[in-house]
Amino acid sequence: MEVILTEEVKSLGFPGELVDVAPGYARNFLFPQNLAVRASGENREKFERKQADIEAQKERRLEEAQDLADSLSTISLTLEKSASEEGTLYGSVTPDDIVEALESNGIAGLNPRQVIIDEAIGELGEFSVRIRLVGDLEPEVEVEVVPA
């Protein structure tokens, strides 16, 4: 089924792009979340007229994301967590913890779903966490977990 994306969808495309997806994926995920519309003649014409605006918005998003990525790559976070004497945390570091720490460092507007923690952080030490921004742009943020 051909659809026109209205929002960026990871691994699928950017707004205004015509993509071919499974009917169930479109019906059950893309349409209910307003991420895409059917590629009917009317919708195609509408998006062709808006194409210049969509391209400008895409470029602006990429520039803003690159600026944010540059800022994120210079940040080092320190999180205080309760831990045992052996250095094992009581709990673990969550994406919410990372977003909260970034907000306290002046980086606002991130969603916990954008934080990629490859392996669970369950002990004291230094770790690297990726932040998914736009497309394949995923800057790394250094996180140090210290005892509270």
Taking only the tens place, the pLDDT of each residue in 8-37 is: 888 888 888 889 999 999 999 999 999 999
In the chain, the N- to C-terminal Cα span, in Å, equals 53
**Does 146 or 41 have the greater pLDDT score?**
146
Helix axes 41-49, 51-73, angle to 10 degrees: 60
The domains located in the chain, with CATH, are 2-49 (3.40.5.10), 68-147 (3.10.430.100)
Taking only the tens place, the pLDDT of each residue in 71-107 is: 888 889 999 999 999 989 998 999 999 999 999 988 8
The span from the CA of 44 to the CA of 32, in Å, is 19
CB 143 within 8 A of CB 128: yes
Q: What pLDDT is recorded for position 143?
A: 93
SS3 of residue 135 by DSSP: coil
CB 137 within 8 A of CB 67: no
- Those residues with Cβ within 8 angstroms of residue 48's Cβ, 6 or more apart along the chain or in another chain: none
CB 148 within 8 A of CB 82: yes
